[in-house]
């Protein structure tokens, strides 16, 4: 090669790499939860920070909630690359991978899951089965509860029709309930029409869609731990440059660092708010409570072991207290 040609080739290379460095990428994001929910308000604050600090590098374009993509379709939209980022919970994308729902069973915080190897194990499976990179967990330390329009006085839901997602199916059926699956967006109407006598939901969030108007009782204590996470289409993730990936990871870790205070406060506020709204707490005696909680975890893990014994065992070992 002549010296001029060599120089030209070198200059072209330098230019190309400068262009790659200067590249700003915009990621399209949807949420499986309603836009007016506390979860999404919390997420939006993060997105604003990511965008403010990520100029010239990485931006997130929040498209919207279930009106943009229906709740139970968000997982598949991330898997296939219809969107780049999804904000969802495992129960909403069991159609993509049934193991997603296992994350409700974890008993240690995401900060620990990252240290014990649970996070790596999750990512290995999510990469392989769902074409997703599991970026991190936004919601945790939010136990689920049964909310009812009628009183029960023992750990049984026999004769009651309860709204569920996969989170609650095995547990509520073990308690004798008839179950009907709906996305959150259909709970109010189901209650209003008397189609259901209650529903499963975490400790926080029932006011977002006005369910307190139709709710009279909550069973304590809660069970499992609500998981809501950020998922990235794997091809998109691999296509980001190292600086962009590092930036997204850094921002995710900053968000996770807020989890302990944010979710403990939310539990406190929402519990008080429910009491103020006149929602009465149902508690069983010690034996009843033990039966209730044991049934929850036995039913949850039994299904997990049936669906994918290797992953269930790994997750249980790495995330049990």
Q: Which parts of this chain interact with ligand 173 (CB under 6 A)?
A: 89, 91, 165, 167, 184, 200-202, 226, 228
Judged by beta carbon, residue 155 or residue 202, the one nearer ligand 173 is 202
Nearest of 69, 128, 118 to residue 97 by alpha carbon: 128
Neighbouring C-alpha atoms within 13 Å toward the C-beta of 192? 9
Rounded Cα distance between 145 and 148, Å, is: 10
Judged by beta carbon, residue 65 or residue 200, the one nearer ligand 173 is 200
Judged by beta carbon, residue 131 or residue 141, the one nearer ligand 173 is 141
Handedness of CA 153, 143, 266, 40 (dihedral sign): negative
Nearest approach in angstroms of CB 144 to ligand 173 is 7
Question: 106: phi > 0 → left, psi -120 to 50 → alpha, else beta; which?
Answer: beta
Strands 228-233 and 85-88: antiparallel
Judged by beta carbon, residue 25 or residue 108, the one nearer ligand 173 is 108
Judged by beta carbon, residue 57 or residue 94, the one nearer ligand 173 is 94
Nearest approach in angstroms of CB 107 to ligand 173 is 16
Nearest approach in angstroms of CB 125 to ligand 173 is 19
Q: Which two tokens stand for residue 126?
A: 């999510």
Judged by beta carbon, residue 109 or residue 288, the one nearer ligand 173 is 109
Rg value, the chain, Cα: 22
Nearest approach in angstroms of CB 183 to ligand 173 is 7
Nearest approach in angstroms of CB 130 to ligand 173 is 17
Nearest approach in angstroms of CB 119 to ligand 173 is 19
Q: Which residue is nearest to ligand 173 (CB)?
A: 165
Work out the number of other CB atoms within 10 angstroms of the CB of residue 239: 12
Helices (H) and strands (E) in the chain, counts: 11, 11
């Amino acid at each position: 090669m002549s010296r001029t040609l060599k120089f030209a080739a070198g200059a072209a290379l330098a230019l190309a790499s400068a262009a790659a460095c200067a590249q700003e990428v915009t990621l399209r994001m949807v949420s499986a939860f309603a836009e007016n929910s506390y979860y999404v308000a919390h997420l939006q604050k993060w997105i604003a920070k990511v965008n403010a600090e990520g100029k010239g590098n990485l931006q997130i374009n929040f498209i919207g909630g279930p009106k943009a993509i229906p709740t139970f379709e968000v997982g598949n939209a991330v898997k296939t690359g219809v969107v780049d980022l999804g904000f969802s919970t495992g129960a909403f994308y069991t159609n993509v991978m049934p193991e997603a729902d296992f994350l409700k069973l974890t008993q240690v915080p995401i900060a620990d899951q990252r240290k014990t190897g649970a996070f790596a194990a999750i990512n290995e499976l999510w990469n392989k089965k769902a074409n997703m990179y599991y970026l991190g967990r936004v919601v945790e330390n939010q136990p689920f509860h049964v909310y009812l329009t009628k009183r029960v006085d023992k750990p049984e839901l026999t004769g009651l029709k309860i709204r569920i997602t996969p989170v609650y199916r095995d547990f509520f059926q073990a308690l004798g309930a008839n179950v009907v699956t709906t996305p959150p967006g259909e709970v109010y109407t189901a209650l209003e029409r008397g189609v259901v006598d209650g529903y499963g939901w975490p400790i926080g969030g029932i006011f977002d869609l006005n369910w307190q108007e139709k709710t009279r009782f909550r069973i304590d204590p809660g069970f499992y731990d609500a998981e809501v996470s950020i998922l990235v289409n794997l091809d998109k993730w691999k296509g980001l440059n190292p600086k962009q990936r590092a930036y997204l990871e850094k921002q995710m870790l900053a968000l996770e660092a807020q989890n302990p205070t944010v979710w403990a406060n939310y539990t406190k506020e929402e519990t008080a708010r429910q009491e103020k709204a006149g929602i009465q707490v149902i508690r069983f005696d010690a034996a009843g409570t033990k039966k209730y909680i044991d049934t929850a975890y036995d039913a949850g893990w039994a299904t997990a072991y049936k669906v994918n014994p290797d992953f269930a065992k790994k997750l249980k070992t790495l995330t049990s207290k």
